[in-house]
Amino acid sequence: MVDDDQNAILFGGDYNPEQWPEDTWQGDIDKLKQANINVATINVFSWALLEPRENVFNFEQLDRIIALLVRNKIKIILATSTAAIPAWIIQKYPGIARVDVNGIRQKQGKRHNACPNSPDFKRLARGLVKRLVERYKDCPELTYWHVSNEYEGYCYCDNCAVAFREWLQQKYGTLERLNLDWNSNIWSHTYHEWSEIEPPMMTTDLFDNGKPVLSGAAIDYQRFQSDSLLNDFKLERDVIKQFDQQHPVTTNLMGSQKALDYFKWAPEMDIISWDSYPMPDDSAAETAMEHDLMRGLKQQPFLLMEETPNQQNWYPYNALKKPGEMRMLSYQAIAHGANNIAFFQLKQSRSGAEKFHGSVLTHSDSVHTRTFKEVQQLGKEVTKLPMTLNQANVQANVAVIFDWDSYWGLENSIGPLAKLSYVKEVQRFYQMLYGHGLTVDLVAKDADLMKYQLVVAPVLYMMNPQAITNITRYVEQGGTFLTTYMSGIADQTDNIYIGGYPGPLREILGLHIDEHDARSAKQSVRILAMNQSEVGTADGVCDLIIPDTATTLAHYSNDVFYNNYATITRNHYGRGTAYYCGAELSESGLNYLMEKLANTAGLKLGTSPKVEVTTRATAEEKFIFIINTDNREQTIMNPVPLATSLLTGKESATKLVLGPYAVEILHQIL
């Protein structure tokens, strides 16, 4: 049973009692309390119930839901319900529905469907949120405000076109400047009036593969839509803050999704929260990277707003989580910065798109299911964790730069390899670090890098003056830096730097590149160290590096005509060292590179790629999470022998034998 202690770590999830007969509510709560649930996220999609017609509000059911939770001492994360527009609103104001990238106006249905620039949406959302805040701000169990839900997707309507032109006028001032920065003399795109500019979409400037002619226009539209949705978030947040300065405001983000530049969102949010849904075959590194990105947004702990206690619903094959796997993933989240655990959802829906999505209470409605018991056990553990953990931040000595501008710019490019995926390439290098036991911060390109022993910037396609200065200074002052193919290519309006890739990074890297090949996986090429031993293979983009001051560490084999060109180089610059990796390396090639980097940066590498060791610390104490991410037993040397186990209360041994998905949390007082 949940401890009544108000200071227990939050353990809960989404709860939608409005889908169920009211006489079942208390029974559900009784069961959920057995599972140690102490918080519920409610009211995520209730606008149609709360406001059945314009300016007519009905909070009676919500009052009863909140009273139920209060009565049962369940904390509340209260959502604003604006993430799906009621049918009556769309019928009354059809322009509130989005126009899709094909130019087709949507009608009522699905969710996340409001045009972000609709004045009707803004007015109606403001009205609803105002009433919600006024009514519930003093609720004793209220813990967080949860604005909307999983902001995503773009709109291409005429409202958005008008707002885009205003956004562009703000940014460029004159059409002359815009034409210059967009290089719009290409294909007769020159604009003579602001009104001539249309959103880049399938009926205008996007090809069948979704890529644009004018990449400057395309990335500006991405920035504009990200800003537009952020404005909607800020609108709701500001209404909340007007009446309630006490409870923090968040919205649940979605990891490395493409549409929104979360680094611009983070400063506007009191706390980051996000929904973690690894695919069944995702590696532990892929999940870890997403957590690190979400933590990196504010470089602070975050809320895990959603995970599934068992199988997902939306994947081609929604495999069951294995015994212990959900627990392992939950602790992995905490190790990487989560200050809570929350599930989507607490009670499984009887119908609707997500009816087969895992839940704490399943269609069996039983407390004897495997899922329920695993949740219950986890709840028992995590609600006992010390609250000081919440102040402890993750200790990383390596940074990976993640950059939505590069994400967009790279994936807007048609050549040299249309299917190049930004996130997959970042994952490649994150995996290299994670697989060697390093703890990583994902940071923006203008973040403070000085505290890191190593900074890795994969496919950092798009630069700007601040980033150039920031990275250059980091190396100058002694940092160890790695960047890769397709980095330093374009400026912030996606105009390519002239003078040889990678433009503004040439000097610190001590090299230049005139050509990059693009090879399919079937055409992989062997990569050789200077002693001609093979260190791995590569495919995809392969740079033909010409070292200026850099030293060649590996080169292509005679599988290709450019076998004399370098694949990996190292350059001393200022007091630091800049590495360059010119090809999409296989795992063994990455291992070779990792050893070089570790030597330069003075990093100690781990020994088990399957066991993650991550430390969260405050000035006073350390929490060392040791997680076997694998379904087979693993043994490692204890990095902090004799430290107390938080889960067993006992002293830990010198050697740790970890069963499948086993977790150990060791505690050190400093």
List binders of a copy of itself among 40-69 (CB under 8 A): 45-49, 52-53
Query: Which of 152, 198, 446, 559 forms a contact with a copy of itself (CB under 8 A)?
Result: 198
Q: Taking a C-beta distance cutoff of 8 angstroms, is the pair 529, 492 a contact?
A: no
Under rule CB under 8 A, which residues in 561-580 are in contact with a copy of itself?
561-562
Tell me the β-bridge partners of 97: 114
Under rule CB under 8 A, which residues in 157-186 are in contact with a copy of itself?
182-183, 185-186
The CB density around residue 371, as the number of other CB atoms within 10 Å, is 24
Pick the closer one to a copy of itself by CB: 318 or 464.
318
Region from 27-35, 494-502, 595-603, 612-620 binding a copy of itself, contact rule CB under 8 A:
494-502
How many angstroms separate the Cα of 468 from the Cα of each of 158, 435, 476, 488, 568? 37, 29, 12, 9, 21
Q: Residue 122 and residue 90: Cα distance in Å, rounded?
A: 14
Least distance in angstroms from the C-beta of 301 to a copy of itself: 30
Exposed e or buried b per residue across 206-227, where buried means at least 16 C-beta atoms within 10 angstroms of its C-beta:
beeeebbbbbbbbbbbbbbbbb
Least distance in angstroms from the C-beta of 25 to a copy of itself: 14
3-state secondary structure at position 487: coil
Is 422 exposed, middle or buried (CB count within 10 Å of its CB: 0-12, 13-18, 19+)?
A: buried
- Is residue 591 a contact point for a copy of itself (CB under 8 A)? no
Under rule CB under 8 A, which residues in 410-439 are in contact with a copy of itself?
413-419
Region from 133-141, 205-213, 328-336, 598-606 binding a copy of itself, contact rule CB under 8 A:
205-213
Q: Residue 383 and residue 11: Cα distance in Å, rounded?
A: 7
Query: Which of 34, 257, 362, 644 forms a contact with a copy of itself (CB under 8 A)?
Result: 362
233 contact partners, CB below 8 Å, separation of at least 6: 147, 148, 151, 251, 265, 268, 269
Q: Are strands 480-484 and 576-581 parallel, antiparallel or unpaired?
A: parallel
Pick the closer one to a copy of itself by CB: 88 or 243.
88
- Is residue 88 a contact point for a copy of itself (CB under 8 A)? yes
Least distance in angstroms from the C-beta of 527 to a copy of itself: 17
The CB density around residue 657, as the number of other CB atoms within 10 Å, is 11
- Is residue 187 a contact point for a copy of itself (CB under 8 A)? yes
Least distance in angstroms from the C-beta of 496 to a copy of itself: 5
Exposed e or buried b per residue across 67-84, where buried means at least 16 C-beta atoms within 10 angstroms of its C-beta:
ebbeebebbbbbbbbbbb
Least distance in angstroms from the C-beta of 180 to a copy of itself: 9
Per-residue 3-state assignment (H helix, E strand, C coil) for 43-74: CCCCHHHHCCECCECCCHHHHHHHHHHHHCCC
Decide if 150 is catalytic: yes
Q: Residue 279 and residue 296: Cα distance in Å, rounded?
A: 22
Q: Residue 33 and residue 4: Cα distance in Å, rounded?
A: 11
Least distance in angstroms from the C-beta of 38 to a copy of itself: 24
Among 415, 436, 411, smallest CA distance to 424 is for 411
Q: Residue 426 and residue 456: Cα distance in Å, rounded?
A: 9
How many angstroms separate the Cα of 514 from the Cα of each of 434, 458, 502, 520, 629? 32, 19, 9, 20, 42
Under rule CB under 8 A, which residues in 470-489 are in contact with a copy of itself?
none
Region from 31-39, 189-197, 383-391, 575-583 binding a copy of itself, contact rule CB under 8 A:
189-197
3-state secondary structure at position 633: coil
Query: Which of 264, 393, 497, 605 forms a contact with a copy of itself (CB under 8 A)?
Result: 497
Exposed e or buried b per residue across 3-28, where buried means at least 16 C-beta atoms within 10 angstroms of its C-beta:
eeeeebbbbbbbbbbbeeeeeebeeb
Pick the closer one to a copy of itself by CB: 94 or 173.
94
- Which position has the token pair 């590498």? 605
- Which position has the token pair 């501008």? 405
Least distance in angstroms from the C-beta of 481 to a copy of itself: 23
Least distance in angstroms from the C-beta of 196 to a copy of itself: 4
Least distance in angstroms from the C-beta of 183 to a copy of itself: 4
Decide if 381 is catalytic: no
Pick the closer one to a copy of itself by CB: 174 or 185.
185
Least distance in angstroms from the C-beta of 509 to a copy of itself: 15
End-to-end CA distance of the chain: 32
Pick the closer one to a copy of itself by CB: 83 or 284.
83
Query: Which of 490, 566, 594, 624 forms a contact with a copy of itself (CB under 8 A)?
Result: 490
- Choosing from 306, 411, 425, 664, the catalytic residue is 306
Under rule CB under 8 A, which residues in 374-413 are in contact with a copy of itself?
413
Query: Which of 4, 55, 170, 193 forms a contact with a copy of itself (CB under 8 A)?
Result: 193
- Is residue 129 a contact point for a copy of itself (CB under 8 A)? no
**Cα dihedral value 495, 538, 629, 257, nearest 10:** 20
Query: Which of 207, 575, 599, 637 forms a contact with a copy of itself (CB under 8 A)?
Result: 207
- Choosing from 150, 286, 307, 411, the catalytic residue is 150
Under rule CB under 8 A, which residues in 307-326 are in contact with a copy of itself?
310-314, 316-320, 322-323
Strand order in the sheet with 621-628: 393-394, 611-617, 621-628, 663-669, 644-645
Pick the closer one to a copy of itself by CB: 37 or 544.
544
Under rule CB under 8 A, which residues in 536-555 are in contact with a copy of itself?
544
Region from 244-252, 362-370, 382-390, 636-644 binding a copy of itself, contact rule CB under 8 A:
362-370
Under rule CB under 8 A, which residues in 102-121 are in contact with a copy of itself?
102-111
Task: Kindly state the number of chain residues that form the binding site for a copy of itself, as judged by CB under 8 A.
Answer: 113
Least distance in angstroms from the C-beta of 511 to a copy of itself: 12
Q: Which two tokens stand for residue 400?
A: 């990976």
Query: Which of 118, 159, 215, 453 forms a contact with a copy of itself (CB under 8 A)?
Result: 215
Q: Residue 406 and residue 354: Cα distance in Å, rounded?
A: 33
Query: Which of 517, 584, 612, 664 forms a contact with a copy of itself (CB under 8 A)?
Result: 517
Under rule CB under 8 A, which residues in 233-262 are in contact with a copy of itself?
none
Pick the closer one to a copy of itself by CB: 370 or 384.
370
170 contact partners, CB below 8 Å, separation of at least 6: none
Least distance in angstroms from the C-beta of 450 to a copy of itself: 32
Query: Which of 259, 518, 529, 617 forms a contact with a copy of itself (CB under 8 A)?
Result: 518
Pick the closer one to a copy of itself by CB: 195 or 242.
195
Query: Which of 4, 499, 619, 670 forms a contact with a copy of itself (CB under 8 A)?
Result: 499
Q: Residue 333 and residue 308: Cα distance in Å, rounded?
A: 13
Number of alpha carbons in the 13 Å side-chain half-sphere of residue 117? 20
Among 52, 30, 53, smallest CA distance to 61 is for 52
Under rule CB under 8 A, which residues in 320-359 are in contact with a copy of itself?
320, 322-323, 349-357
Q: Which residues are catalytic?
A: 150, 306
